[in-house]
Structure 1
Amino acid sequence: MSEADTVSAPPFTVFTSRQRTYFTFLLGYLTLASSLTATIYLPLIESLSKQYNASVLAIDLTITVYLVFQAISPAFFGPLSDTLGRRPVFLMTFAIYLGASLGLAFNENSYAALLVLRSLQSIGGSAVMSLAYAVVADISLPAERGRILGPMLAATNFGPCFGPIIGGGIVLATGQTQWAFWTLVIFGASSLMLIGWTMPETGRNIVGSGEVCPRALWETWWSVIRSSGRRERQDDYECSSNVYSEKSGKGVWSFPNPFSSVRLIFYTDTFLILWSAGSPYAVWYCIQASIPLIYGQRYGYNPLAVSLCFLSGGAGVIVGGFVAGRLMDFNYKKTAEPYGLPVDRVSGDDIRNFPIEVARSRGSYTLHVLSVGTLVGYGWAIERGVHASIPLILQFFIGARCTIVLQLYSALMVYIFPDKAGTAAASNNIVRCTLSAVAVAILQPLRDTIGDGWMFTSIGLVDGALGVFAVAVLRKWGWNWRRARTGHD
């Protein structure tokens, strides 16, 4: 591409740097719906067991069901956002989330209602991560997405830090679990207001690069009020509806096909990517699910002290989020250099002609080797009953590593399906949540059978060995498989 062509090329997005910065923090806050809702619940397990007169295994079932719906929900809402738009789906899912949270806050004695409402809460809150990845793909250049994903996901990861503290502190202070659910009601209501008033539509099939004026439901409430009585003027907004004449500024309702997300799992390259993203997520979920039992039973900590044990790993998750964002952009640039590929920061690179699989997997071997060592050390530190500081330090490194790998490969999945960002992110959610649900379901029986040492050793070896295999195959053949699939020579 000549310099003249580059100058005349239309920009990838017209959203300003300030707007993209706002999206970074808004999406970080909204994606707490997934991490905060999941982790605030973990310190409540024993209290919920007493409150609902149910066994710990029965309460664990609510966690498994939550994870099942966490996998299913994005399979509907991700593809729907690709046709209807990001904004209406955000409004829809948070309305469901808020209603379920209210139900949980008022439910005091029905285990059946707990199971159903927790499922609805998962349906409403679990699609947000897939939608957030899709929005990032809408508004940022391929070479610069790490700048948004890093801080956004670091903000998201405050959930694993503070969710357990909020849950454990509430139980210790009040002896009641309902206040934890009221906290989620407040969060859900504030999120719904922020979406309604400040989040414009970003779907590229609806507003293009942001030049097309969104209409009706796709406008922010503030824009509707501001433009009242002036709707016939094309210059009411900072966009021009005649730039992309084929786009109307409105999405199209179509019944979402969940199998469009499932279908992506069965391509060889995407299966390897999805495993590489899902396996570390499942590992980290096992760590989190085991913390209340390990530090509560083995170390004898009270609920608040147990909740503080989540902080170490949560700090690692936050650090990992920032590292992953920087690593994405750095690896992208370093991979482009030996191939002699330019990095287009105006209209964006053609990912079909870029070995993005190689870029995103740089450094993965080292991360997998470190993962095996930390998981084995973590398991045997607990098994031997060493000072609690040792497993807590290891939790930091496990959390950081799992987050870096998860984010690198989650972003890769969206990269290779740029026209189906919501669908691609949903397929990622299906795999990682399914793996987590299976892992949590067998966690306690496995722990009872072989103990903490061998359990975490087994988890580390399986995750590390299969991860290294997936990376090796993906780096060697992934780009060719993708090009063959898309029919690009």
Structure 2
Amino acid sequence: MDSEKAEDTQGAGSSQEKYSVFTPVEKRCITSMVAYAAAFSTLSSFIYFPALNQLAEALSASIGEINLTITSYMAMATVAPTLLGDTADVVGRRPTFLVALGLYVATNIATALSKSYAALLTLRLFQALAISGIFSVAYGVVADIATPAERGSYVAAVSFASTIAPSLGPILGGSLTYAAGWPWIFWFLCIASSLCLAIIFLFLPETSRNLVGNGSIRPAKYLQPPTGFMCHWKESEQMPTPRFRLPNPMKSLKILIRKDNAIIILACGLLYAVYTCICASLSVLFIDIYKLNQWQAGLIYIPFGFGGTASSFFCGPLLNKAYRKMQIKCGLSTDKAVGDNLDTFPIEKARLVVIWIPMLVTILCVVAFGWTLHFHLHMAIPLCLQFILGLAMQLDFSIYNTLLVDKNNRAPAAAQASSNIVRCGLAAIVVAFLQNLIDALGIGWTFTFMGALCIIAMGLFLVDYRQGMTWRQKYSGVSEVSIQ
């Protein structure tokens, strides 16, 4: 009772100041801009796959050498977010976006004009360095502007943008390669990212709470958009002198030390490895089993994309409703304009309570998908399962990403960067052995193994649901609040 009264008092005090001065429409505009940027972090990898044969012929390289450009890209994508994550938390979201996108545009131009294998290999490394960590900055922006009570909807938008790319990328890449040749993959990325860069330069306000608080503090001149769009400070206000420290790439690794973080990051890593294996094997398996051509093989990714799109319409409301129920259970105010003290709030139970059904559907569909291909059943069956998988897995990722941001609300970008280290590392390992697994076990048992990985992930989420708050509070030194 005493703890509940203390929280009620704290909630009443915090109601005097809004968590964010941005209006709901402005929050949606900001989230749309950063989600647009975040999409390039995964699109750049998957749009490249349909052009491998054409690249090998054009650059007089073997398929093995071209595959090395994929491996090197994934290796850089594992490390690069640790550089951007804490940098965005220190120097601001806006300059980090501008520098990363500027370098990305330049590398796409250079890659489209490259005429040698060595140039392609080098430029793909720079491309990964520039863009692979941008999604972590986008999640940081969401944590800046959205209270935990409304955060689910905004995180779902960013999560959708970054995870739908593996489904749409091969379609775009195959179409561009077929119609205009492989350089137009990079010209397309250059044009699309240049538009994103222009929009962010003109309109995106600085949101880092370390620099502008809830958006009402006037930032330094270099952090202000030239249009003054969505700026809520008064012109007469004095600009504060920012406290500068050097960004620390190791901060992302420190986040992994916490048990409550490590266990859900490992769970997401296993899920992402399964997701990547499905995307990587789709075209190969369908071409072999159903005798599709390259153009048709690109179209089989559409159901997965539609499923992910469908999930975005109800994932946010589902998360927000579950959070509201936990607020009421804890006797807290349900005012979305103010933020709760998450140090004493059972955020693990508020978020993970809605993950069990999507996880169960994911497990069943992964196994069923493998056996329908194993027995060469009608193509409509695995395509329908793809739609359901896209919907369920997108829900899994959105719930996880929201929880990770909530657990690390003071350094959300660095937290997402730490997650990327694990998920990309696990995905690279599992994908490297995927064909060997299929050759040794067959398609059905390979995907049964993938289903087992999902079961392990579900078990890890269950452990965090029960113990995560205790571990988190031991780390932060906050006494636990009893929940009736």
Q: Distance in 1 between matches of 2:39 and 2:365?
A: 27
Q: 1:172 aligns with which of 167, 174, 178?
A: 178
Q: Give 2:399's aligned residue.
A: 408
Q: If the length of structure 2 is used for normalisation, what is the TM-score? A: 0.91
Give runs of aligned pairs for residues 248-259 of structure 1, distance below 5 A.
248=240, 250=242, 252=244, 254=246, 256-259=247-250
Structure 1 residues not aligned, in runs of 5+? 227-235
Q: In the alignment, is the contact (CA less than 8 A) between 1:378 and 1:456 conserved in 2?
A: yes
Q: Give 1:346's aligned residue.
A: 337
The alpha carbon displacement at 1:295 in A equals 2.2
The alpha carbon displacement at 1:7 in A equals 8.0
Q: Distance in 2 between matches of 1:250 and 1:447?
A: 55
Q: 2:139 aligns with which of 129, 133, 141?
A: 133
Q: Distance in 1 between matches of 2:406 and 2:191?
A: 34
The alpha carbon displacement at 1:204 in A equals 0.5
Q: 2:274 aligns with which of 283, 296, 300?
A: 283
Q: Give 1:220's aligned residue.
A: 225
The alpha carbon displacement at 1:252 in A equals 3.2
Q: 1:321 aligns with which of 312, 315, 318?
A: 312
Q: 2:457 aligns with which of 462, 467, 479?
A: 467
* 1:191 partnered with 2:196: yes
Q: Distance in 2 between matches of 1:322 and 1:259?
A: 36
Q: Distance in 2 between matches of 1:50 and 1:351?
A: 55
* 1:304 partnered with 2:310: no
Cα deviation, 1:399-443, whole Å, max 9, x if unaligned, reads 222211112112211111221111112111222111211122222
Cα deviation, 1:357-412, whole Å, max 9, x if unaligned, reads 11111133333322221111111111222222211111112222221111211221
Q: In the alignment, is the contact (CA less than 8 A) between 1:64 and 1:440 conserved in 2?
A: no
The alpha carbon displacement at 1:241 in A equals 8.2
Q: 1:260 aligns with which of 237, 247, 251?
A: 251
Q: Give 1:36's aligned residue.
A: 43
Q: Distance in 2 between matches of 1:412 and 1:127?
A: 19
| RMSD between superposed Cα atoms in Å | 2.4
Q: Distance in 2 between matches of 1:194 and 1:4?
A: 37
Instruction: Please identify, of 361-370 and 386-395, the stretch whose mean Cα deviation from structure 2 is larger.
Output: 361-370
Alignment partner of 1:31: what SS?
helix
Instruction: Please identify, of 212-221 and 1-10, the stretch whose mean Cα deviation from structure 2 is larger.
Output: 1-10
Q: Distance in 2 between matches of 1:4 and 1:158?
A: 37
Q: In the alignment, is the contact (CA less than 8 A) between 1:64 and 1:441 conserved in 2?
A: no
Q: Give 2:68's aligned residue.
A: 61
* 1:487 partnered with 2:473: no
Q: Distance in 1 between matches of 2:262 and 2:158?
A: 26
Q: If the length of structure 1 is used for normalisation, what is the TM-score? A: 0.90
Q: In the alignment, is the contact (CA less than 8 A) between 1:274 and 1:431 conserved in 2?
A: yes
Structure 2 residues not aligned, in runs of 5+? 1-7, 480-484
**Residues 251, 353 of structure 1: alpha-carbon distance in 2 compared, 3 angstrom cutoff:** same
Q: Distance in 1 between matches of 2:476 and 2:235?
A: 31
Q: 1:370 aligns with which of 355, 358, 361?
A: 361
Q: In the alignment, is the contact (CA less than 8 A) between 1:171 and 1:177 conserved in 2?
A: yes
Q: Distance in 2 between matches of 1:130 and 1:405?
A: 18
Letter in 2 for 1:458: F
Q: Give 2:5's aligned residue.
A: none
Alignment partner of 1:385: what SS?
coil
Q: In the alignment, is the contact (CA less than 8 A) between 1:375 and 1:456 conserved in 2?
A: yes
Q: Distance in 2 between matches of 1:451 and 1:324?
A: 35
Q: Distance in 2 between matches of 1:98 and 1:250?
A: 29
Instruction: Please identify, of 135-144 and 392-401, the stretch whose mean Cα deviation from structure 2 is larger.
Output: 392-401
Q: In the alignment, is the contact (CA less than 8 A) between 1:155 and 1:318 conserved in 2?
A: no
* 1:381 partnered with 2:386: no
**Residues 249, 148 of structure 1: alpha-carbon distance in 2 compared, 3 angstrom cutoff:** farther
Q: Give 1:87's aligned residue.
A: 94
Q: In the alignment, is the contact (CA less than 8 A) between 2:355 and 2:395 conserved in 1?
A: no
